[in-house]
Structure 1
Amino acid sequence: MLCLGFESTAHTFSCGIVEKKANKGRIISDVRRIYRPPEGQGIHPREASRHHIECSSHVLAECLKEANLTIRDIDIISYAAGPGLGPCLRVAGVVARTVSSYYKIPIYPVNHAIGHVELGKMLTGAKDPLVLLVSGGHTVLAAFKQKKWRIFGETLDITLGQLLDQFGRSLGFASPCGKKIEELALESEKYIPLPYSVKGNDVSFSGLMSAAKKVSKNRQDACYSLQETAFAMIGEATERALSFTEKKELMVVGGVAANRRLSEMLRKICKRQNCKFFVSPIQYAGDCGSQIAWTGLLEASVKKGAKISETFVRQSWRLDTVEIDY
């Protein structure tokens, strides 16, 4: 079975085609176009949605060409229905509904966060992990129990991705800023004390961001200190959640999963906890159509596609509210 997935929750418009055979998935093609705001600025939802509209037909055509398929070869369609930026979400929603209606292909709305998790499991081989989802839209620790992903820790304010992006923009970078901050952090080993805020098993990054901006005169030292503090906070919450849930696997997904320093710190935690460590491949750590396509295939294994009148986009849609039957 082949699924064409559409992703446009934030800065990325992507189409991905995934094949499912005998409960195993294979990515056939994945094409993306990323909206790049001006230097020092973040994502403007209206401008990002305009970018997605302009590139959507080209991305779809390129995705089918890369897979050596036509739209009539596709068995089902899925799209990221939320959470995300409203104007951006609507682009994938409209494109997916249009293609589904015209070619009479079943359609499945997919939760974007669950897409990260499910593609991560498919690519890494993790079976029953504690999941750390860290991106621009999420910072959450979750474990699966009784048909839902249960939350064992999350951010109380901004996400880890927002922390890196907002601090990076204060240095004059354009979002996403994580890679540039990581590169600058590698040039320093001088730690500047910054606020460390872990409350129970939740984290708070807003105070850390404000304090880091005040010491940003030396970019390398500030980036190093910001990363070390934020990742140590995440590490503490993760180790506590591993101990509490008694999970023997930790899987890291989301855009910030590409950060090597974060992985290094989490590997040490897993070693202490006698736990296997999995991290999403860098190529698929961020937003992509493949994560939506694979989750659509999983949904299709237990339910029929939605009626067009039942399709939706939802800016706020927590992964712990989604019941999973597959």
Structure 2
Amino acid sequence: MTVVIGFEGSANKIGIGIVRDGEVLSNPRRTYITPPGQGFLPSETAKHHRSVILTVLQEALDEAGLKPADVDCVAYTKGPGMGAPLVIVALVARTVAQLWEKPLVGVNHCIGHIEMGRLVTGARNPTVLYVSGGNTQVIAYSERRYRIFGETIDIAVGNCLDRFARVIKVFNIYLTFNFIQVLAEQYVELPYTVKGMDVSFSGILSYIEEVAHKMLSSGQCSAEDLCFSLQETVFSMLVEITERAMAHCGSQEVLIVGGVGCNLRLQEMMGVMCEERGAQLFATDERFCIDNGAMIAQAGWEMFRVGQTTELADSWITQRYRTDEVDVAWRD
């Protein structure tokens, strides 16, 4: 049996998980939370990660009931992500690997999400929609690569929703959709921007930020109406490009991963599309959708079992680490 510990800290979550041959033994994490209306800065996020990472490490070992000697490999998020938080995680991971005398594996953050999603849901060869605060991609596996069929050409969908949430002082809009949907009374028409297989969110965000103050102050609509309209619009765009990728690949499975994948309305809309196509939808909950250490451990486990490791001289970070740069040697 092979035990891999994974360190994740590419954004405002710091997580350390332990996986043993497909079984998640532990997965504690901490979240850096800023006041409503404020985003998180890389330097402050890194300071948070640095202050709690050793505590989380001890929690992961205790929860799994393991000692350092029981671990076979140390995995960490190499990228993509925010530079300063990534550096903290890389430094701690490679220090631990040297202290424990274990091999090191640098993992692509997106592939961590995909492999955890495949593990938890049992999806075999899905078209993947990867949606988070920093990434928006439609992905499918082909010839030892996770190929990107479509993506955002500007900001990520999670970033779009978060930034608008800060404008109207709502925390984490894409996790509180059910509450917003109940309060919404009308749909506000917004720009819909799909360009082939790619999507664009910056124009939608600029437009809704501009009209929000006017419409709210005049009483034309509520904040809930705007949140509802924004989510319906951007999620429709995501469903469209996912369906187009499925048609191209002849796929009958969809897997949603990433933090925005927790959103029940996105899952509902994607489920309707899949049902109409006779396809199957796979999604997970907050334990594995949101950034966590176990997903890095699982991807590291897959890499380690086929002999992929990272030399200490190469154990740095790559902020713009593309999903399709990785040799996926563990899949047929």
TM-score (norm 1): 0.96
Change (3 A) 1:189 1:267: farther
Unaligned stretches of 5+ residues in structure 2: 217-221
Matches of 1:77 and 1:325, distance apart in 2: 19
Q: In the alignment, does 2:186 pair up with 1:190?
A: yes
Matches of 2:24 and 2:242, distance apart in 1: 30
Matches of 1:185 and 1:89, distance apart in 2: 35
Change (3 A) 1:47 1:173: farther
- 1:306 pairs with one of 305, 310, 314: 310
One-letter identity of the residue aligned with 1:124: T
**Which shifted more, 195-204 or 179-188?**
179-188
CA contact (8 A) 1:116 1:254 kept: yes
Residue matched to 1:27: 24
For residues 194-218 of structure 1, give each alpha carbon's deviation from its aligned partner in whole angstroms, at most 9, with x where no partner exists: 0011111111111111222234322
Matches of 1:259 and 1:134, distance apart in 2: 10
- Residue 305 (structure 1) shift: 2.9
Unaligned stretches of 5+ residues in structure 1: none
- 2:253 pairs with one of 221, 231, 249: 249
1:147-158 to structure 2, matched below 5 A, reads: 147-158=144-155
- 1:284 pairs with one of 268, 285, 288: 288
Residue matched to 1:57: 54
For residues 95-122 of structure 1, give each alpha carbon's deviation from its aligned partner in whole angstroms, at most 9, with x where no partner exists: 1011111110111000000000000000
Matched residue SS, 1:16: strand
Residue matched to 1:100: 97
Q: In the alignment, does 2:195 pair up with 1:199?
A: yes
- Residue 181 (structure 1) shift: 5.2
Matches of 1:207 and 1:35, distance apart in 2: 28
CA contact (8 A) 2:180 2:227 kept: yes
One-letter identity of the residue aligned with 1:269: M
- Residue 311 (structure 1) shift: 1.0
Q: In the alignment, does 2:141 pair up with 1:144?
A: yes
CA contact (8 A) 1:123 1:281 kept: no
- How many pairs are equivalent? 321
Residue matched to 2:230: 226
Matched residue SS, 1:81: strand
Residue matched to 1:169: 166
Matches of 1:275 and 1:179, distance apart in 2: 25
- Residue 306 (structure 1) shift: 2.3
TM-score (norm 2): 0.94
Matched residue SS, 2:183: coil
- Residue 80 (structure 1) shift: 0.3
Matched residue SS, 1:186: helix
Matches of 1:220 and 1:108, distance apart in 2: 44
Matched residue SS, 2:26: strand
Matched residue SS, 1:306: coil
- Residue 86 (structure 1) shift: 0.4
Q: Percent identity?
A: 39
Change (3 A) 1:264 1:189: farther
Matches of 1:146 and 1:296, distance apart in 2: 20
One-letter identity of the residue aligned with 1:195: P
Matches of 1:310 and 1:199, distance apart in 2: 37
CA-atom RMSD in angstroms: 1.2
For residues 39-63 of structure 1, give each alpha carbon's deviation from its aligned partner in whole angstroms, at most 9, with x where no partner exists: 2111100000000000011100111
